[in-house]
Chains A and B, each alone.
Chain A
């Protein structure tokens, strides 16, 4: 039996959805995008073009829910399905868009540069616990205006796994699309076998900014999946009660699904988010708070009941270094995400709310993910009878190590961690240098990076990608991009 977390009663889920629909009518949704307002008006919503408020009747949103696919795949760069959005499949990618990196040596934050992100992409490739890449850092060695597309450019040169990404502007989305098309070998090929999903973020409460709304519409029209990242901040930009924050999330996501499906019926879209409970002492947005995880799991349950694929930012920490707080917060969120059956869990490696990526934390988080995955495989009955034959065979002898049954099953029954987790004796630990988890994660990271095999990118594709990215950079006054690191 697979263990599952149901955090809301079924009747509460129904009530949340009902109230979500009602919010679409009153007070309605603010939509700062002409294209979307036009689509909504045409579909029959009551649109005030001056105040940019759309009042969306339930039947329009219901139709959108009908046409949104309940399942789709992302493909790796060999063309094989690698990520399944749908059902209760649980997959993981690193937290995205960090504006700083925790330096491996000093363990202090600094702005990331090209070499950091490339190293990160390689590490993600090498960690089997991670199913997808993300555009995890914003490099500070290029002009800000291309911060979004440059990350994708770098990743596309080194990755095999699919990628979770996002655009910061309306125009740069087109450059990012052009690069994805180049890699996929055409627009149709990309739509047929998408290799990327774009995060699109409504602003709480109940607002679609021009930029993110346009990104979502453009994705839908081209057939690139998008992922809703609704982020009610309970007590600040959303009601303080957890259930009410989930209602706000529901309304924001319903409006997103509606606009997306009006742009193109059947476009793949994910019910996701990054909510938080507001920290009432510091005014921050803690991702490591149990209340945050509860809102996440609740809206995932709502999304599932509507038949949509799901996503959540979970498994992160608000700590500033890789310490006990980082471990405890990341474990809690990751395990809850796994139990809730979130299709894509974004967050590995992330510290300091959602602002800092750490190589070492990523390596440690991979172990947490390994354990969480094992947990949701559940306890299975492998033999019938379960134990009678096994125990009667040995009687009172404690000799199971020599039993073929043990060799047959132990690797499937147990999750066996890497050297990051210390399970040796005190003596052995002292002899090995009395290392901390951080030390061991640093060593394991280096080991994995040594084993990274470059993806064979043809000279033609490499040149085309560089041409596209450089062209965009020149539009913003940067003549040449930094050279790509070797390998």
Chain B
């Protein structure tokens, strides 16, 4: 029965069926399955399947987004149960991402967010036109080990440097890795402003994030 339920959860996440995934995870918890088992044998393998399907070209970005949403909604039910048991899900890491102040380009940044969640990161997406201080505050609040700064304009790239300086000012720079991206951003710029890495697209952002988080 429980194996059957876990298989169904896996299938729903792979299909990106948010409502069904949520329902089945609730059922699984009610039937007495351990939350960690649901993650390890249901959600994680599902996301691995999704990743494989994307890599081989069968899945496209919308499939990835739907699957990530299904997993996230499942996690919302699971997390309180984990807390009750004083357990914590050891994901790939926690990331704070956003498009820097003065810049309202959303899609590239959001895509990185989706890809990171799909790869097991806990992602706090601050949106666009994010004030420098908001990055610092969110890192403090979540204890994130990774910050992703997006900028699509040559005029707002300079704000990426300001965020790094602010993290230094707040004494947080040692415990976070900073990655930068966006159309005008190149490796040279990342080096110049003292970022830990640069990624040219969402797929390489995941590779970079894994490497920076020491899981790649």
Contact = CB atoms under 8 A, between A and B. Distances in A.
A144 interface: yes
Contact of A283 (B111, B155, B157): B111
A200 to B, nearest CB: 15
A203 B202 contact: no
Contacts of A203: 104
Interface in A272-331: 278, 280-284
Name B's interface SS: loop
B153 A283 contact: no
Contacts of B61: 278, 280-281, 283
B158 interface: yes
Given A144-B154, A168-B153, A355-B183, A233 B107 contact: yes
B32 interface: no
B158 A281 contact: no
Q: How large is the interface on B (under 10, 10 to 19, 20 to 34, 35 or more residues)?
A: 10 to 19
B155 A235 contact: no
A144 B157 contact: yes
Contacts of A4: none
A433 to B, nearest CB: 35
Contacts of A145: 155
A138 B61 CA distance: 31
A22 interface: no
B201 to A, nearest CB: 7
A376 to B, nearest CB: 34
B62 A280 contact: yes
Interface in A131-173: 138, 144-145, 147, 168-169
A235 B104 CA distance: 18
B107 A283 contact: yes
Contacts of A375: none
A138 B104 contact: no
A210 B153 CA distance: 15
Nearest to B157: A144
Contacts of A233: 107
A237 interface: yes
Nearest to A354: B183
Interface of B: 57, 60-62, 104, 106-108, 111, 153-155, 157-158, 183-184, 201-202
Given A147-B155, A168-B153, A283-B201, 16 more contacts: A138-B154, A144-B154, A144-B155, A144-B158, A147-B154, A169-B155, A203-B104, A236-B107, A237-B107, A278-B107, A280-B60, A280-B61, A281-B57, A282-B201, A283-B108, A283-B202
24 contacts: A99-B183, A138-B154, A144-B155, A144-B157, A144-B158, A145-B155, A147-B154, A168-B154, A207-B104, A209-B104, A233-B107, A237-B107, A278-B61, A278-B107, A280-B60, A280-B61, A281-B60, A281-B61, A283-B108, A283-B111, A283-B201, A283-B202, A284-B201, A355-B183
